[in-house]
Amino acid sequence: MIIEAKNINKYYGSTYALKDFSLGIPKGSSFALLGPNGAGKTTFLKALLDLTPVDSGEITINGISSLSEKSRKGIGYLPEKFTFFDYYTVEGVLIFYGKMKGINKGLAEQIEAVVLKTKITELQQRKVKTLSKGQMQRLGIACMLMGDNDLLLLDEPFTGLDPIGIKDLKEILRGLQVEGKTLLINSHILSEVEQICDQMAILNKGELVVEGKITELAGDASLEDFFYEKIKS
Ligand code: ATP
Protein backbone atom coordinates (compact mmCIF):
# COMPACT_ATOMS: atom_id res chain seq x y z
CA MET A 1 0.00 0.00 0.00
CA ILE A 2 1.31 3.45 -0.86
CA ILE A 3 -1.23 5.10 1.47
CA GLU A 4 -2.46 3.61 4.75
CA ALA A 5 -4.98 5.56 6.79
CA LYS A 6 -6.07 4.05 10.09
CA ASN A 7 -9.01 5.12 12.23
CA ILE A 8 -8.98 8.77 11.22
CA ASN A 9 -11.27 11.10 13.09
CA LYS A 10 -11.55 14.72 12.09
CA TYR A 11 -14.15 17.15 13.27
CA TYR A 12 -14.69 20.84 12.73
CA GLY A 13 -16.40 22.03 15.89
CA SER A 14 -19.24 19.57 16.32
CA THR A 15 -19.25 18.50 12.62
CA TYR A 16 -17.62 15.18 11.80
CA ALA A 17 -15.69 15.37 8.52
CA LEU A 18 -14.12 11.89 8.93
CA LYS A 19 -15.36 9.26 11.37
CA ASP A 20 -13.14 6.28 12.24
CA PHE A 21 -12.07 6.30 8.60
CA SER A 22 -9.58 3.67 7.44
CA LEU A 23 -8.38 3.14 3.89
CA GLY A 24 -5.48 1.56 2.03
CA ILE A 25 -4.51 2.69 -1.47
CA PRO A 26 -2.47 0.11 -3.42
CA LYS A 27 0.69 1.32 -5.15
CA GLY A 28 0.15 1.77 -8.87
CA SER A 29 -3.64 1.86 -8.62
CA SER A 30 -5.97 4.53 -9.96
CA PHE A 31 -8.23 5.07 -7.02
CA ALA A 32 -11.44 7.10 -6.97
CA LEU A 33 -12.69 8.67 -3.79
CA LEU A 34 -16.40 9.22 -4.25
CA GLY A 35 -19.15 10.65 -2.10
CA PRO A 36 -21.82 13.33 -2.01
CA ASN A 37 -21.07 16.97 -1.13
CA GLY A 38 -19.63 17.24 2.34
CA ALA A 39 -18.74 13.52 2.57
CA GLY A 40 -15.16 14.25 3.67
CA LYS A 41 -13.21 13.66 0.43
CA THR A 42 -11.29 16.96 0.41
CA THR A 43 -10.64 16.66 4.13
CA PHE A 44 -9.03 13.26 3.51
CA LEU A 45 -6.76 14.58 0.74
CA LYS A 46 -5.74 17.52 2.92
CA ALA A 47 -5.10 15.17 5.84
CA LEU A 48 -2.75 13.11 3.65
CA LEU A 49 -0.67 16.23 3.09
CA ASP A 50 -1.02 17.37 6.70
CA LEU A 51 -2.69 20.52 5.40
CA THR A 52 -5.44 19.83 7.86
CA PRO A 53 -4.53 18.14 11.15
CA VAL A 54 -6.61 15.12 12.16
CA ASP A 55 -7.90 14.66 15.68
CA SER A 56 -6.93 11.02 15.95
CA GLY A 57 -5.70 8.10 13.87
CA GLU A 58 -2.64 7.82 11.70
CA ILE A 59 -1.69 8.05 8.06
CA THR A 60 1.42 6.72 6.37
CA ILE A 61 2.59 7.37 2.82
CA ASN A 62 5.20 4.93 1.56
CA GLY A 63 5.48 3.81 5.16
CA ILE A 64 6.34 7.32 6.41
CA SER A 65 4.02 9.21 8.77
CA SER A 66 2.08 11.98 7.00
CA LEU A 67 3.19 14.26 9.83
CA SER A 68 6.74 14.02 8.53
CA GLU A 69 7.72 16.35 5.69
CA LYS A 70 9.59 13.42 4.11
CA SER A 71 6.28 11.72 3.31
CA ARG A 72 5.45 14.53 0.86
CA LYS A 73 8.42 13.88 -1.39
CA GLY A 74 7.16 12.50 -4.68
CA ILE A 75 3.58 13.75 -4.33
CA GLY A 76 1.89 15.94 -6.93
CA TYR A 77 -1.27 17.69 -5.70
CA LEU A 78 -4.04 19.39 -7.61
CA PRO A 79 -6.24 21.22 -5.09
CA GLU A 80 -9.99 21.62 -5.53
CA LYS A 81 -9.53 25.28 -6.45
CA PHE A 82 -6.09 26.03 -7.81
CA THR A 83 -5.11 29.65 -7.13
CA PHE A 84 -1.95 31.68 -7.20
CA PHE A 85 -0.86 35.31 -6.88
CA ASP A 86 -2.56 37.32 -9.62
CA TYR A 87 0.54 39.19 -10.73
CA TYR A 88 2.66 36.08 -11.47
CA THR A 89 3.03 34.93 -15.05
CA VAL A 90 2.21 31.33 -15.92
CA GLU A 91 5.93 30.69 -16.38
CA GLY A 92 6.65 32.37 -13.03
CA VAL A 93 4.19 30.06 -11.27
CA LEU A 94 5.85 27.02 -12.82
CA ILE A 95 9.32 28.25 -11.86
CA PHE A 96 8.03 28.73 -8.30
CA TYR A 97 6.62 25.18 -8.20
CA GLY A 98 9.76 23.74 -9.78
CA LYS A 99 11.97 25.39 -7.16
CA MET A 100 9.62 24.28 -4.39
CA LYS A 101 10.06 20.74 -5.71
CA GLY A 102 13.83 21.19 -5.55
CA ILE A 103 14.37 21.16 -9.31
CA ASN A 104 17.35 23.24 -10.38
CA LYS A 105 19.01 21.43 -13.26
CA GLY A 106 16.66 20.96 -16.17
CA LEU A 107 13.95 23.28 -14.80
CA ALA A 108 13.41 25.04 -18.15
CA GLU A 109 13.12 21.68 -19.96
CA GLN A 110 10.66 20.40 -17.41
CA ILE A 111 8.51 23.51 -17.70
CA GLU A 112 8.57 23.14 -21.48
CA ALA A 113 7.40 19.53 -21.16
CA VAL A 114 4.52 20.26 -18.76
CA VAL A 115 3.19 23.27 -20.69
CA LEU A 116 3.24 21.14 -23.82
CA LYS A 117 1.36 18.33 -22.06
CA THR A 118 -1.26 20.68 -20.64
CA LYS A 119 -1.39 22.78 -23.83
CA ILE A 120 -0.59 26.12 -22.21
CA THR A 121 2.63 26.84 -24.11
CA GLU A 122 1.18 30.05 -25.60
CA LEU A 123 0.03 31.27 -22.20
CA GLN A 124 3.44 31.27 -20.54
CA GLN A 125 3.88 35.05 -20.46
CA ARG A 126 0.28 35.74 -19.45
CA LYS A 127 -0.48 36.91 -15.91
CA VAL A 128 -2.52 34.60 -13.70
CA LYS A 129 -5.24 37.25 -13.38
CA THR A 130 -5.94 37.07 -17.13
CA LEU A 131 -6.56 33.31 -17.23
CA SER A 132 -9.98 31.76 -17.76
CA LYS A 133 -11.25 29.09 -15.35
CA GLY A 134 -10.22 26.25 -17.65
CA GLN A 135 -6.80 27.80 -18.37
CA MET A 136 -6.25 28.15 -14.63
CA GLN A 137 -7.15 24.49 -14.13
CA ARG A 138 -4.66 23.52 -16.86
CA LEU A 139 -2.00 25.54 -15.02
CA GLY A 140 -2.91 23.71 -11.81
CA ILE A 141 -2.44 20.39 -13.60
CA ALA A 142 0.91 21.59 -14.98
CA CYS A 143 2.04 22.50 -11.43
CA MET A 144 0.94 19.07 -10.18
CA LEU A 145 3.11 17.45 -12.86
CA MET A 146 6.27 19.33 -11.86
CA GLY A 147 8.90 17.10 -10.26
CA ASP A 148 9.29 13.37 -10.16
CA ASN A 149 6.09 12.22 -8.50
CA ASP A 150 4.98 8.67 -7.70
CA LEU A 151 1.67 9.69 -6.21
CA LEU A 152 -0.77 12.19 -7.70
CA LEU A 153 -3.63 13.54 -5.60
CA LEU A 154 -6.34 15.19 -7.68
CA ASP A 155 -9.30 16.98 -6.09
CA GLU A 156 -12.12 17.43 -8.61
CA PRO A 157 -9.65 17.56 -11.54
CA PHE A 158 -12.29 17.90 -14.28
CA THR A 159 -13.78 21.09 -12.80
CA GLY A 160 -13.74 24.04 -15.19
CA LEU A 161 -12.39 22.05 -18.14
CA ASP A 162 -14.20 22.01 -21.48
CA PRO A 163 -14.71 18.67 -23.29
CA ILE A 164 -11.31 19.00 -24.99
CA GLY A 165 -9.68 19.79 -21.65
CA ILE A 166 -11.33 16.72 -20.11
CA LYS A 167 -10.06 14.56 -22.97
CA ASP A 168 -6.55 16.04 -22.63
CA LEU A 169 -6.55 15.42 -18.89
CA LYS A 170 -7.63 11.81 -19.37
CA GLU A 171 -4.73 11.35 -21.79
CA ILE A 172 -2.32 12.80 -19.23
CA LEU A 173 -3.72 10.50 -16.55
CA ARG A 174 -3.43 7.46 -18.83
CA GLY A 175 0.20 8.39 -19.50
CA LEU A 176 0.85 8.53 -15.75
CA GLN A 177 -0.81 5.12 -15.34
CA VAL A 178 1.48 3.64 -17.99
CA GLU A 179 4.43 5.04 -16.03
CA GLY A 180 3.15 3.12 -12.97
CA LYS A 181 2.15 6.17 -10.93
CA THR A 182 -0.57 5.99 -8.28
CA LEU A 183 -3.56 8.24 -8.83
CA LEU A 184 -6.02 9.23 -6.12
CA ILE A 185 -8.93 11.15 -7.61
CA ASN A 186 -11.82 12.91 -5.85
CA SER A 187 -14.59 13.45 -8.33
CA HIS A 188 -18.31 13.77 -8.86
CA ILE A 189 -18.03 13.07 -12.59
CA LEU A 190 -18.64 9.35 -12.39
CA SER A 191 -18.59 8.76 -16.15
CA GLU A 192 -15.00 10.04 -16.33
CA VAL A 193 -13.95 8.25 -13.15
CA GLU A 194 -15.24 4.99 -14.59
CA GLN A 195 -12.95 5.41 -17.61
CA ILE A 196 -9.83 6.12 -15.57
CA CYS A 197 -10.03 4.38 -12.21
CA ASP A 198 -9.86 0.68 -11.34
CA GLN A 199 -10.61 0.99 -7.63
CA MET A 200 -12.85 3.14 -5.49
CA ALA A 201 -14.05 4.01 -2.05
CA ILE A 202 -17.40 5.64 -1.37
CA LEU A 203 -17.71 7.91 1.65
CA ASN A 204 -20.84 9.32 3.16
CA LYS A 205 -20.95 11.72 6.09
CA GLY A 206 -17.32 11.01 6.89
CA GLU A 207 -17.71 7.24 6.97
CA LEU A 208 -16.52 4.57 4.57
CA VAL A 209 -19.50 2.95 2.84
CA VAL A 210 -17.71 0.55 0.50
CA GLU A 211 -14.33 0.04 -1.15
CA GLY A 212 -12.82 -2.26 -3.73
CA LYS A 213 -12.42 -2.86 -7.46
CA ILE A 214 -14.97 -0.89 -9.48
CA THR A 215 -15.82 -3.76 -11.85
CA GLU A 216 -16.26 -6.24 -8.99
CA LEU A 217 -18.41 -3.90 -6.92
CA ALA A 218 -20.60 -2.41 -9.63
CA GLY A 219 -20.91 -5.64 -11.66
CA ASP A 220 -23.25 -5.02 -14.60
CA ALA A 221 -24.57 -1.78 -13.13
CA SER A 222 -23.16 1.57 -14.16
CA LEU A 223 -21.02 3.30 -11.56
CA GLU A 224 -23.70 5.99 -11.37
CA ASP A 225 -26.43 3.48 -10.46
CA PHE A 226 -24.16 1.68 -8.00
CA PHE A 227 -23.19 4.97 -6.35
CA TYR A 228 -26.80 6.09 -6.08
CA GLU A 229 -27.85 2.80 -4.47
CA LYS A 230 -25.03 2.93 -1.92
CA ILE A 231 -25.67 6.53 -0.94
CA LYS A 232 -29.42 6.04 -0.71
CA SER A 233 -29.22 3.03 1.60
P1 ATP B 1 -17.54 18.36 -1.80
O2 ATP B 1 -17.84 17.20 -2.68
O3 ATP B 1 -18.71 19.26 -1.61
O4 ATP B 1 -16.28 19.09 -2.16
P5 ATP B 1 -16.20 16.84 0.31
O6 ATP B 1 -16.60 15.42 0.28
O7 ATP B 1 -14.88 17.18 -0.26
O8 ATP B 1 -17.34 17.75 -0.29
P9 ATP B 1 -15.23 18.14 2.73
O10 ATP B 1 -14.91 19.43 2.07
O11 ATP B 1 -14.13 17.26 3.13
O12 ATP B 1 -16.28 17.29 1.86
O13 ATP B 1 -16.13 18.48 4.00
C14 ATP B 1 -16.51 17.49 4.96
C15 ATP B 1 -17.33 18.16 6.07
O16 ATP B 1 -16.50 19.03 6.82
C17 ATP B 1 -18.50 19.01 5.56
O18 ATP B 1 -19.56 18.87 6.47
C19 ATP B 1 -17.94 20.42 5.60
O20 ATP B 1 -18.97 21.37 5.78
C21 ATP B 1 -17.01 20.36 6.80
N22 ATP B 1 -15.86 21.28 6.67
C23 ATP B 1 -14.87 21.20 5.76
N24 ATP B 1 -13.96 22.16 5.94
C25 ATP B 1 -14.38 22.88 7.02
C26 ATP B 1 -13.87 24.01 7.74
N27 ATP B 1 -12.73 24.58 7.38
N28 ATP B 1 -14.58 24.45 8.78
C29 ATP B 1 -15.73 23.87 9.17
N30 ATP B 1 -16.28 22.79 8.55
C31 ATP B 1 -15.61 22.30 7.50
Q: Tens of pLDDT along 37-63?
A: 999 999 999 999 999 999 999 999 999
pTM metric for this prediction: 0.95
Q: Give me ligand 1 centre to Cα 38, in Å.
A: 5
Q: What pLDDT score does 8 carry?
A: 97
Maximum CA extent, the chain: 54
pLDDT (0 to 100) of residue 45? 97
Q: What are 123-127's contacts with CB under 8 Å, separation 24+?
A: 123/90, 124/89, 124/90, 124/91, 124/94, 125/89, 125/90, 125/91, 126/89, 126/90, 127/86, 127/87, 127/88, 127/89
Percent of the chain residues past pLDDT 90, beyond the cut: 90
Across 216-224, average pLDDT: 90
Write the pLDDT tens digit of every residue in 137-160: 999 999 999 999 999 999 999 988
Q: How far is the CA of 219 from the centre of ligand 1 (A)?
A: 30
Which pLDDT score, from 0 to 100, does residue 78 have?
97
Distance between CA atoms of residues 202 and 212, nearest Å: 9
Residue 233 has pLDDT above 70, yes or no: no
- pLDDT computed for residue 185 by the predictor: 97
Tell me which residue has its CA closest to atom 27 in ligand 1. 12
45-52 contacts at long range (C-beta below 8 A, 24 or more positions apart): 45/77, 45/153, 45/155, 45/184, 45/186, 47/5, 47/8, 47/10, 47/18, 48/3, 48/5, 48/75, 48/153, 48/184, 49/75, 49/77, 49/153, 52/10
Q: Within 6 Å (CB) of ligand 1, which residues are found?
A: 12, 15, 17, 35, 37-43
The atom of ligand 1 lying closest to the CA of 45 is 11
Distances (CA, A) of 114 to 2, 131, 147, 180: 25, 17, 10, 18
Mean per-residue pLDDT of the chain: 95
Residue 220 pLDDT class (50, 70, 90 cuts): confident
Residue 232 banded pLDDT, cuts 50, 70, 90: confident
pLDDT of 44 reads 97
Q: Ligand 1, residue 43: give the atom nearest the CA.
A: 11
The pLDDT of residue 211: 96
Predicted local distance difference test score (pLDDT) of residue 160? 87
* Cα 17 to middle of ligand 1, angstroms: 6
Residue 33 has pLDDT above 80, yes or no: yes
**Mean of pLDDT values over 151-174:** 94
Rounded to the nearest whole angstrom, what is the distance from the C-alpha of residue 165 to the centroid of ligand 1? 27
Q: Distance from the CA of 52 to the center of ligand 1, in angstroms?
A: 11
87 pLDDT band (50/70/90 cuts)?
Answer: very high
The whole-number pLDDT of residue 1 equals 92
DSSP 8-state assignment for residue 127: B
Measured by CA distance, the residue closest to atom 29 of ligand 1 is: 12
What mean pLDDT is predicted for residues 52-81? 95
How many angstroms is it from 122 CA to the middle of ligand 1?
A: 36
**Cβ within 8 Å of residue 104, ≥6 positions away:** none
* Ligand 1 atom with minimal separation from the 156 CA: 4
Mutating to test ligand 1, I would choose from 9, 15, 159 the residue with most ligand atoms within 8 A of its C-beta, which is 15
Mean pLDDT of 18-30: 96
Kindly give the distance from the C-alpha atom of residue 33 to the centroid of ligand 1, in angstroms, as a whole number.
Answer: 14
Residue 133 burial (CB count, 10 A): 12
Q: How many CB atoms lie within 10 A of CB 195?
A: 12
